[in-house]
Amino acid sequence: MIQQTNNDKRLKVFQHAGVVEPTFLGEGAWHEAWKVVKDDHERVLRIPKEVAYGKRVAFDYNALTAEYTATKLYYQSVNQAVPGAAPDFYEFYVSPDFTYTLESFGGDSLSLHTMTIEQAADIGVQVGEIYRKTEQIEHGVEGLGYLIWTEEKKLHGSLSGDLHAFVREESDEHLADYKALCEAYPEIQDDVVEHMLHVATELRNKQVPVPSLVNQDASPENILLKGNRVCLIDPYPIVYAPRGMAGNFMNLYESYFVALSQTERYRKHRFDVYEDQLKGIATGFLKGYSDGDESIVREVRGEQLLQLLETVYLHHQLLCQEELTREDTIRYGDKKAITTRLFELSHSLKQFARTCLTD
């Protein structure tokens, strides 16, 4: 009965969107994707899933409108910076009956298993250049942080205030998180890590960043290739200090994806098998993003160190919960797996602290 209801809803979406020849492409955590044709153009139709991470997803007009409006703005900004590096057609429809997005077909998914290290690096260079150039585009969004939608203010950041002050407060939180980790697990304490965390926070506190529209989610699933050219899709845009998101990218590709490769969320991607390709993408990204500026490399590596710290701290927070949610288990595994990974990541933190600002 549920399957029939889903099929009926899909048919309504196909009819409303005016598309034909639907071919199922796959599904992520939140959407299923269909390759379709509209007005003789190949498009990708995405339909929100009714169940995500083990729980039913309630309809939220403002949240969906914020997500899709932010995606449209990010695509426009990327294409202004690097033409063709994001879908150039994007529209969406949000209602209690059915919701969908429709965008240009961006190309084929990355094939990590056939990719050489040189190809991985080239992809990374392109993504790094896209990030760097997109940061320079005026986005016109008021506020900071995660993007929200209200009918009164339209798309805007969930936080207000000065970004520099916000970054300094965040730096204090990073240092406090490390202190809390060391108190909970004395074996984690390391003088070099502590010193380098202070170096990294002082480095970021000296900057006066301009709030940029940046992407928090450029996982391999969201990087497509059309020929040899990269196309970024399904972003998670926020207004933030740009170096922070560059550091996030490096942490994802050099640590996070491999560390979590055995979780239910990532198991199918076999990231542990393709660690060299992921690190090749990261190496290329840093090259494309820094454009030869060693001061930018240092800033990004400092942010990467802080991101790795927060990955460890997140695992500590999960272990402090009396009971894990189904979503937590899908993302991170059970408490035994989380405990093991916490200490593996803390070891990676010690190793990275010894090289991150001296490469």
Q: What confidence category does residue 1 fall into, taking pLDDT thresholds of 50, 70 and 90?
A: very low
Which pLDDT band holds residue 7 (cuts at 50, 70, 90)? confident
The number of CA neighbours under 13 Å toward the Cβ of 237 is 30
Q: What is the rounded CA–CA span in Å between residue 208 and residue 299? A: 13
Asked if the model's pLDDT at residue 29 lies above 90, the reply is no
Q: What is the mean pLDDT of residues 182-199?
A: 97
Angle between helices 294-320 and 275-290 (to 10 degrees): 130
Q: Answer whether 53's CB lies under 8 Å from 327's CB.
A: yes
Residue 97: how many CB atoms within 10 A of its CB? 10
Q: Which helix (H) or strand (E) holds 47?
A: strand 41-48
Q: Which amino acid belongs to residue 317?
A: Q
Residue 70 tokens, joined: 């932010």
Distance of alpha carbon 88 from its chain centroid, rounded?
Answer: 21
The pLDDT of residue 218 is 87
Residue 34, beta-bridge partner list: 24, 45
**What is residue 358's predicted lDDT score, i.e. its pLDDT?**
63
Q: Average pLDDT of 62-91?
A: 98
Q: What does the pLDDT read at residue 43?
A: 97
Res 28: pLDDT? 83
Q: Is the model's pLDDT at 2 over the cut of 50?
A: no
- Written as six digits, the tokens of 334 are 């059970």
- Whole-angstrom CA distances from 195 to 117, 175, 181, 305, 355 are 33, 10, 15, 12, 13
| Closest of 287, 291, 248, 254 to residue 271, by C-alpha | 254
pLDDT tens-digit series, residues 99-140: 999 999 999 999 999 999 999 999 999 999 999 999 999 999
Structure tokens at 47: 């339909």
Mean pLDDT value across residues 203-231: 93
Q: Of 344, 54, 75, 8, nearest to 231 (Cα)?
A: 75
SS3 (DSSP) at 128 = helix
pLDDT in tens, 296-340: 999 999 999 999 999 999 999 999 999 999 999 999 999 999 999
pLDDT at 177 > cutoff 80? yes
Helices (H), the chain: 2-17, 61-81, 117-134, 163-184, 191-206, 242-251, 257-259, 275-290, 294-320, 326-332, 335-353
Is residue 154 pLDDT above 80, yes or no? yes
Round the average pLDDT of the chain to a whole number and report it: 95
Percent of the chain with pLDDT over 90: 92
